[in-house]
């Protein structure tokens, strides 16, 4: 296998988002106006909170929706900010491309999840408008070609998750540009940039799967009624860690116990299911060898 790494993300603030090709309000989004009459079911946005709100009952109000839960539901992020809300299932969408520029300080890793598109490109400049110090493009075609026939006729298989874990983090005043492009209907659900934590070597025998939240009930005749719902990734791994890093790894894992992170069992091509955005349920380190220890970790996706 290969090395396990964790991207501990930086929370993106308004000041960090320098520019975005996705406008706010976007097409179909309406900015809330004080004292305007709204019907039940009307949806508005607030550019201060970057959230969408649905009217519960018809009426008017001079109180902003985020401070008026009696009359408004919070139903999620605006299109521009959906990729930054640290949640799976909310996506930023555009016709053919999404381009954002960020100033997040020194970062060494990028994770982009729930992707629909053809290419993901990252460019880091040493300062706003400065020289390019890093650039990388990932082709989001996960199709495995094993014959001439498949080369010509195999369908495009979307790679939905991608990570870059080799950014030079010493450019603390740099500007990072992320570009997702496609032929039509691009989407990005999670975009995170942060510090890469090196853990160790993932051992063979790691397991990955999903937790399905769909409802399946059998009626009195033995037939199933199925209500399809969402699902999340889960994984279980054993990682061989350097004994010299025992204290460091223990402290770092303890410090991110309640922080959504991107766990990378391996970044090898073809092992996309081993990239999980979420929390670890549990971890334990067996102090078994003179020069290395064994980390057992269970990860639950969001």
Tens of pLDDT, residue by residue over 7-40, are 999 999 999 999 999 999 999 999 999 999 999 9
**Structure tokens belonging to residue 59:** 């009426």
End-to-end CA distance of the chain: 24
Q: Mean pLDDT over all residues of the chain?
A: 91
Is 105 a domain residue? Answer: yes
Long-range contacts for 289-293 (Cβ within 8 Å, ≥24 apart)?
A: 289/243, 290/243, 291/242, 291/243, 292/200, 292/240, 292/241, 292/242, 292/243, 293/240, 293/241, 293/242, 293/243, 293/246
Each residue's pLDDT tens digit, 193-236: 999 999 999 998 888 888 888 888 888 788 888 888 888 888 99
Domain-embedded: residue 7: no
Shared domain check, 179 and 56:
no
Note the pLDDT of residue 205.
Answer: 87
> Do residues 220 and 276 share a domain?
yes
**Per-residue confidence (pLDDT) for residue 231, from 0 to 100:** 80
What pLDDT digit, counting tens, does each position of 53-88 carry? 999 999 998 999 999 999 999 999 999 999 999 888
Residues 143, 188: one domain?
Answer: yes
**For residues 171-200, b (16+ Cβ closer than 10 Å) or e, as one string?**
beebbbbbbbbbeeebbbbbbbbbbbbbbb
Q: What is the pLDDT of residues 95-108, one digit of tens each?
A: 999 999 999 999 99
Predicted confidence at residue 262, as pLDDT, reads 94
**Which is nearest to 129 in space by CA: 93, 163, 174, 87?**
174
CA distances from 243 to 195, 286, 293 (A): 22, 11, 6
Q: Is residue 172 part of a domain?
A: yes
65 and 117 belong to one structural domain = no
Which pLDDT score is estimated for 15?
A: 95
Same domain for 129 and 179?
Answer: yes
pLDDT at residue number 171: 94
Which residues span the domain enclosing 30?
Answer: 24-78
The reply to whether 16 and 88 lie within a common domain is yes
Which range has the worst mean pLDDT, 49-63, 120-134, 144-158, 285-299? 144-158
Q: Which of 257, 260, 270 is nearest to 88 (CA)?
A: 260
Same domain, 147 and 28: no
Examine the pLDDT at 1 and tell me if it is beyond 60.
no
Q: For residues 297 and 200, what is the distance between their CA atoms, to the nearest angstrom?
A: 12
* pLDDT value, residue 273: 84
Looking at the structure, tell me whether residues 32 and 130 fall in a common domain.
no
Based on the domain organization, do 137 and 271 belong to the same domain?
no
**Phi/psi of residue 158, each to 5°?**
-70, 125
The helix/strand/coil state of 82 is helix
HEC secondary structure over 239-294: EEEEHHHHHHHHHHHHHCCCCCEEEECCCCCCCHHHEEEEEEEEEEEECCCCCEEE
* Residue 69 resides in a domain: yes
Asked if 164 and 93 sit in the same domain, the reply is yes
Instruction: Tell which of 173, 195, 217 closes a domain.
Output: 195
The helix (H) or strand (E) run that includes residue 110 is: strand 109-113
Query: 253 phi and psi, to 5 degrees?
Result: -65, -40
- How confident is the model at residue 16, as a pLDDT? 96
- 185, part of any domain: yes
Give a yes or no: residue 292 inside a domain.
Answer: yes
Number of domains in the chain: 3
**64: CATH:** 2.10.10.20
Task: Evaluate if pTM is beyond 0.85.
Answer: yes
Look at residues 186, 181, 185, 190 and name the one whose alpha carbon lies nearest to residue 110. 190
pLDDT above 70 covers what percent of the chain? 96
226 shares its domain with 161? no
Q: 19 with 148, same domain?
A: yes
Instruction: Write down the pLDDT at residue 89.
Output: 84
In a domain, 260, yes or no: yes
Domain boundary among 135, 164, 195: 195
Report yes or no on 5 lying in a domain.
no
Rounded to a whole number of angstroms, the CA Rg of the chain reads 22
Give the domain CATH number at 145. 2.60.120.260
Last residue of a domain, one of 195, 227, 245: 195
Looking at residue 143, what DSSP letter applies? P
Q: Is the pLDDT of residue 191 over 70?
A: yes
Percentages (nearest 5) of helix, strand, coil residues in the chain: 10, 45, 45
pLDDT at 251 over 90: yes
For residue 145, is pLDDT > 70? no
What does the pLDDT read at residue 153? 67
């Amino acid at each position: 296998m290969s090395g396990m790494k964790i991207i501990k993300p930086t929370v993106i603030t308004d000041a960090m988002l320098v520019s975005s090709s996705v406008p706010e309000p976007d097409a179909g989004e309406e900015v809330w106006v004080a004292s305007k009459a709204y019907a039940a079911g009307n949806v508005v946005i607030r550019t201060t909170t970057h959230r969408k709100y649905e009217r519960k009952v018809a009426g008017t109000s001079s109180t902003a929706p985020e401070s008026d839960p009696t009359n408004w539901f919070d139903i999620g992020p605006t299109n521009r900010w959906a990729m930054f809300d640290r949640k799976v299932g909310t996506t930023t969408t555009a016709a053919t491309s999404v381009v954002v520029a960020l100033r997040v300080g020194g970062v060494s890793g990028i994770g982009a999840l729930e992707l629909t598109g053809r290419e993901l490109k990252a460019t880091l400049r040493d300062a706003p408008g400065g020289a390019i110090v890093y650039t990388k493009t990932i082709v989001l075609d996960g199709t495995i070609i094993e014959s001439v026939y498949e080369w010509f006729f195999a369908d495009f298989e979307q790679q939905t998750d991608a990570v870059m874990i080799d950014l030079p983090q010493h450019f603390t005043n740099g500007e990072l540009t992320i570009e997702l492009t496609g032929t039509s209907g691009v989407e990005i659900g999670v975009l995170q940039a942060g510090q890469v934590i090196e853990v160790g070597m993932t051992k063979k025998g790691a397991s990955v799967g999903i937790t399905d939240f769909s409802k399946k009930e059998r009626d009195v005749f033995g037939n199933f009624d199925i209500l399809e719902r969402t699902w999340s990734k889960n994984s279980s791994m054993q990682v061989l860690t350097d004994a010299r890093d025992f204290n460091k790894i223990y402290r770092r894992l303890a410090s991110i116990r309640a922080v959504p992170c991107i766990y990378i069992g391996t970044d090898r091509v073809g092992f996309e299911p081993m990239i999980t955005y979420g929390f670890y349920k549990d971890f334990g380190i067996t102090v078994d060898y003179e020069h290395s220890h064994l980390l057992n970790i269970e990860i639950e996706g969001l």
